[in-house]
């Protein structure tokens, strides 16, 4: 091979991958710019704090923002403790060879790969038709639906299940960054295992746990498929007042407004602005997670 | 020295173990409760296996069908579901018309739809993701690396409904004008949009795989006089192949299970055709669009759960395959050292 040929080939081998890397950057910037431009004008305080009006053709999206907020709060309350405890079990208590630890690891991996819509089916089949209907039968038994129908509790629990792997992986990663020496020092001073976990491991990995929680919230706020038939509503005149109420949600609002609304073209502004709100929300969440993780990594190095 | 019994220690350990066990319980529950709702379709459990096989290897459909058909016919008298017209033959048909006087539950157009859209998505996402990963791991200067990684994280963080909306409003019009298409929403638009969701997966796992290639290999190649790109293409890339393959498989799994993007961008017409520019209805989109309207316990409801089970099994299998490949790569790495 001559030198020039080698050089040309080398340039190609370098430029083509670089070009594709650029393509990704271009895609991200293009999508974001387009949505920001499209939604910016409609994004006002009235829009953020108002309710939909005139058959959803005007007005704001406050109920959807509120519903999303409620969804991720209940989801976190249910999912983050379970995820954190599971991660603590996997990294502190279980030996890597124990069958239970392996089973749990397998389950977490599987859970991470299950399509979001299947979680929705599970929410419907288990939470609504099995647990909810069961509660109705035993507690009320008046032939009416109380819990055996889509509501915010079942949607949140379904979402908690979906985000469980995110929490577990992030918390485990955080716990791994706690140096062995710290644990050993604590144990050598006579502290018990649980004391060591509580006073040494958890405080030192709190940033990572926070990252896990934020990533889970971001994922939960962005997913729509699991709540399509477990609790999200097209339009509600008032905010949910209890756990057995349905709710409006940002992502579902975008889907409904863009595909099912009577006059899709007339509400484009609302659609863009809602998308922008959701995008900014997940962006802010992801950004803070990235920032926290960056600080965490820096700590490991120093 | 004898360990003193402490109640708090004991309780903490038991509580944590029990909580950890919950995540295992839930995966079992998901299996049970998704599959349970499909049972009324079949009079005997062994027919489920037969039909699910049908779904995954449609080319052999005719052969399997005759067996399954006979089995169903034998039990037809007892089966309520069979009276409503759900037989293996019906499920293997090429018409999806669940809401009509004589409902037809042919899964073929839905399976073809899912495969078509996923194929387009992965064909687009794989080269972009893998080559960008190669660039990041092997060539890129530090500043480019630090600029690219957050970009990928942002892309991965895009909610699928946002990508779906973008595809529906912007991409569909652009593609229609560019190719002069008859239908605005079609499999191609869905595939392009879906590739945006698949790229981060393929990129991240490929990048991990490429970065994990031992330094000794690259250094040996460079020491022998190979250039940087020769090393990258002939040493690093082949060594990272299992991981890259796993990334593509996981990408297929993601594409297959994704709902909101395809629901919004593919047009949702249950057609059986190979033309990428015709509208399609995928399996996931069918569940998403129809589940909210069906009545609990009727055949349509159960068939939607059957579709969900097929999705579940398919992605489960793909993840298991990917896992095996990643593990092989790790073993290779360790034996290499």
Q: How confident is the model over A42-61, as a mean pLDDT?
A: 84
Pairing of strands A58-59, A52-53: antiparallel
What is the C-alpha to C-alpha distance for residues B93 and B87, in angstroms, rounded to an integer?
A: 10
**Model confidence band, residue A1 (pLDDT cutoffs 50, 70, 90):** low
Q: Residue window 91-130, chain A: list those with CB within 8 Å of chain B.
A: 93-94, 100, 103-104, 107-111, 113-122, 124-126, 129-130
Query: Is residue A269 situated within a structural domain?
Result: yes
Q: How confident is the model over A143-158, as a mean pLDDT?
A: 89
Nearest chain B CA: its distance from A46 CA (Å): 22
Percent helix, strand, coil in chain B, to 5, is 75, 0, 25
Residue A144 has pLDDT above 60, yes or no: yes
* Structural domain boundaries enclosing A189: 41-301
Tens digit of each residue's pLDDT (9 = 90 or more) over B45-68: 444 444 444 444 433 334 444 444
Residue A70 has pLDDT above 90, yes or no: yes
Q: How confident is the model over A255-273, as a mean pLDDT?
A: 86
Q: What pLDDT, on the 0 to 100 scale, is given for residue B196?
A: 95
**At what angle are helices A99-113 and A152-176 packed, to 10 degrees?**
120
Phi-psi map region of B225: left, alpha, beta (phi>0 left; psi -120 to 50 alpha):
left
* H/E stretch holding A295: helix A268-301
What is the C-alpha to C-alpha distance for residues B337 and B333, in angstroms, rounded to an integer?
A: 7
Q: Residue window 115-134, chain B: list those with CB within 8 Å of chain A.
A: 127-128, 131-132, 134
This prediction has a pTM of 0.86
Partner B contacted by A191 (CB < 8 A): no
Q: How many CB pairs under 8 A join A and B?
A: 260
- Chain A CB contacts of B34 under 8 Å are 118, 121-122, 125
User: In the beta sheet, which residues pair with residue B267?
Assistant: B280
Q: What pLDDT, on the 0 to 100 scale, is given for residue B3?
A: 64
Query: Is residue A288 situated within a structural domain?
Result: yes
- Chain B CB contacts of A35 under 8 Å are 162, 166
Going by C-alpha positions, the residue among B91, B130, B127 that lies closest to residue B299 is B91
Nearest chain A CA: its distance from B336 CA (Å): 23
Query: Is residue A81 situated within a structural domain?
Result: yes
Domain parsing of chain B, residue ranges: 1-36, 39-92, 109-336
Contact (Cβ atoms closer than 8 angstroms) between residue A222 and residue A161? no
**Phi, psi of B104, deg, nearest 5:** -120, 130
Phi-psi map region of B267: left, alpha, beta (phi>0 left; psi -120 to 50 alpha):
left
Residue A179 has pLDDT above 70, yes or no: yes
Domain B109-336, CATH: 1.10.3720.10
Selecting from B34, B140, B227 the residue whose C-beta is nearest the C-beta of A118 gives: B34
Which of A271-280, B77-86, B147-156 is predicted with the least confidence, judged by mean pLDDT? B77-86
Q: How confident is the model over A201-205, as a mean pLDDT?
A: 89
Query: Is residue A282 situated within a structural domain?
Result: yes
What is the C-alpha to C-alpha distance for residues B172 and B266, in angstroms, rounded to an integer?
A: 9
What is the C-alpha to C-alpha distance for residues A15 and A9, in angstroms, rounded to an integer?
A: 10
Residue A56 has pLDDT above 50, yes or no: yes
Partner B contacted by A36 (CB < 8 A): no
A5, two tokens: 């040929």
Tens digit of each residue's pLDDT (9 = 90 or more) over A81-91: 999 999 999 99
Tens digit of each residue's pLDDT (9 = 90 or more) over B269-303: 888 888 888 899 999 999 999 988 888 878 889 89
Mean pLDDT estimate for chain A:
88
Query: Is residue A295 situated within a structural domain?
Result: yes
Q: What pLDDT, on the 0 to 100 scale, is given for residue A234?
A: 82
Query: How many domains would you assign to chain A?
Result: 1
Q: What pLDDT, on the 0 to 100 scale, is given for residue A74?
A: 95
> Does the distance separating the beta carbons of A88 and B23 come in below 8 Å?
no
- Chain B CB contacts of A258 under 8 Å are 164-165, 168-169, 264
Residue B150 has pLDDT above 90, yes or no: no
Selecting from A21, A126, A271 the residue whose C-beta is nearest the C-beta of B165 gives: A271
Partner B contacted by A6 (CB < 8 A): yes
Q: What pLDDT, on the 0 to 100 scale, is given for residue A249?
A: 93
Partner B contacted by A35 (CB < 8 A): yes
> Does the distance separating the beta carbons of B147 and A25 come in below 8 Å?
yes
Residue A116 has pLDDT above 90, yes or no: yes
Residue B43 has pLDDT above 80, yes or no: no
A59, two tokens: 């007005």
Selecting from A24, A108, A119 the residue whose C-beta is nearest the C-beta of B128 gives: A24
**Model confidence band, residue B251 (pLDDT cutoffs 50, 70, 90):** very high
What is the C-alpha to C-alpha distance for residues A116 and A152, in angstroms, rounded to an integer?
A: 17
Which of A180-194, A260-274, B173-187 is predicted with the least confidence, judged by mean pLDDT? A260-274
A18-39: b (≥16 Cβ within 10 Å) or e:
bebbeebbebbeebbebbeebb
A18, two tokens: 């670089």
% residues pLDDT > 90 (chain B): 42
Contact (Cβ atoms closer than 8 angstroms) between residue A168 and residue A86? yes
Q: How confident is the model over B190-207, as a mean pLDDT?
A: 94
**Model confidence band, residue A226 (pLDDT cutoffs 50, 70, 90):** very high
Partner A contacted by B37 (CB < 8 A): yes
Tens digit of each residue's pLDDT (9 = 90 or more) over A231-241: 888 888 788 88
Partner B contacted by A15 (CB < 8 A): no
**Model ipTM value:** 0.90
**Model confidence band, residue B86 (pLDDT cutoffs 50, 70, 90):** low
Tens digit of each residue's pLDDT (9 = 90 or more) over B108-132: 899 999 999 999 999 999 999 999 9
> Mutating which of B15, B18, B22, B27 best tests the A interface, going by the most A Cβ atoms within 10 A?
B27
Supply the CATH number for residue A102's domain. 1.10.3720.10
DSSP B168: I
What is the C-alpha to C-alpha distance for residues A170 and A285, in angstroms, rounded to an integer?
A: 15
Residue B102 has pLDDT above 80, yes or no: no
B158-170: b (≥16 Cβ within 10 Å) or e:
bbbbbbbbbbbbb
**Per-position DSSP letters for B59-122, written without gaps between them:** GGHHHHHHHHHHHHHHHTTT-HHHHTT--HHHHTSS-EE-SSSS-EE--HHHHHHHHHHHHHHH
Cα A39–Cα A290–Cα A222 angle in degrees, nearest 5: 45
């Amino acid at each position: 091979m001559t030198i020039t040929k080698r050089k040309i080939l080398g340039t190609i081998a370098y430029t083509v991958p670089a070009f594709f890397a650029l393509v990704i950057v271009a895609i991200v910037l293009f999508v974001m710019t387009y949505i920001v431009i499209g939604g910016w004008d409609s994004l006002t305080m009235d829009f953020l704090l108002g309710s939909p009006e005139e058959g959803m053709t005007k007005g704001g999206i406050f109920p959807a923002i509120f519903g999303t907020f409620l969804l991720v709060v209940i989801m976190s309350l249910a999912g983050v403790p379970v995820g954190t405890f599971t991660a603590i079990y996997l990294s502190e208590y279980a030996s890597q060879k124990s069958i239970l630890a392996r089973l749990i690891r397998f389950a977490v991996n599987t859970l991470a790969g299950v399509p979001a819509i299947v979680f929705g089916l599970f929410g419907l089949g288990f939470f609504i038709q099995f647990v909810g209907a069961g509660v109705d039968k035993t507690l009320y038994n008046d032939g009416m639906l109380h819990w055996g129908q889509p509501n915010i509790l079942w949607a949140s629990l379904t979402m908690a299940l979906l985000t469980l792997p995110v929490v577990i992986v992030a918390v485990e990663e955080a716990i791994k960054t706690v140096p062995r020496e710290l644990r050993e020092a604590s144990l050598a001073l006579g502290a018990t295992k649980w004391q060591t976990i509580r006073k040494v491991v958890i405080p030192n990995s709190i940033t990572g746990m926070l990252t896990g929680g934020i990533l889970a919230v971001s994922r939960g706020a962005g997913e729509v498929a699991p709540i399509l038939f477990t609790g999200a509503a097209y339009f509600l005149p008032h905010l949910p007042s209890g756990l057995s109420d349905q709710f409006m949600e940002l992502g579902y609002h975008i889907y409904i407004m863009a595909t099912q609304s009577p006059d899709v073209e007339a509400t484009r502004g609302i659609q863009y602005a809602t998308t922008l709100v959701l995008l900014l929300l997940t962006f802010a969440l992801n950004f803070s997670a990235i920032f926290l993780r960056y600080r965490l990594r820096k700590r490991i190095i120093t | 020295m004898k360990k003193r019994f402490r109640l708090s220690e004991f309780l903490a350990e038991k509580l944590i173990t029990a909580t950890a066990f919950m995540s295992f319980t839930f995966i079992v529950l998901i299996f049970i409760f998704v599959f349970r709702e499909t049972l009324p379709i079949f009079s005997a459990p062994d027919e489920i296996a037969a039909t699910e096989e049908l779904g995954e290897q449609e080319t052999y459909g005719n052969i399997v069908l005759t067996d399954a058909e006979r089995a169903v016919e034998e039990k037809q008298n007892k089966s309520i579901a069979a009276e409503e017209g759900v037989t293996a033959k019906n499920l293997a048909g090429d018409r999806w018309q669940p809401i009509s006087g004589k409902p037809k539950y042919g899964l073929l157009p839905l399976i073809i739809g899912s495969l078509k859209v996923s194929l387009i998505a992965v064909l687009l996402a794989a080269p972009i993701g893998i080559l960008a990963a190669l660039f990041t791991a092997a060539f890129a200067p530090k500043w480019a690396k630090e600029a690219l990684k957050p970009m990928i994280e942002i892309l991965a963080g895009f909610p699928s409904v946002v990508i779906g909306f973008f595809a529906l409003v912007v991409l569909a019009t652009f593609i229609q004008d560019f190719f002069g298409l008859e239908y605005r929403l079609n499999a191609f638009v869905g595939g392009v949009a879906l590739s945006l969701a698949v790229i981060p997966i393929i990129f991240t796992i490929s990048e991990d795989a490429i970065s994990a290639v031992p330094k000794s290999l690259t250094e040996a190649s460079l020491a022998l006089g190979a250039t940087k790109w020769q090393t990258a293409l002939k040493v690093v890339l082949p060594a990272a192949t299992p991981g890259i393959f796993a990334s593509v498989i996981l990408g297929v799994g993601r594409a297959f299970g994704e709902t909101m993007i395809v629901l919004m961008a593919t047009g949702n017409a249950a057609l059986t055709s190979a033309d990428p520019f015709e509208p399609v209805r995928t399996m996931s989109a069918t569940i998403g669009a129809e589940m909210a309207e069906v009545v609990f316990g009727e055949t349509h409801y159960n068939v939607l759960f059957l579709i969900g089970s097929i999705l579940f099994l398919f992605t489960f299998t793909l993840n298991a395959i990917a896992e095996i490949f990643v593990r092989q790569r790790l073993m290779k790495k360790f034996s290499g050292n």
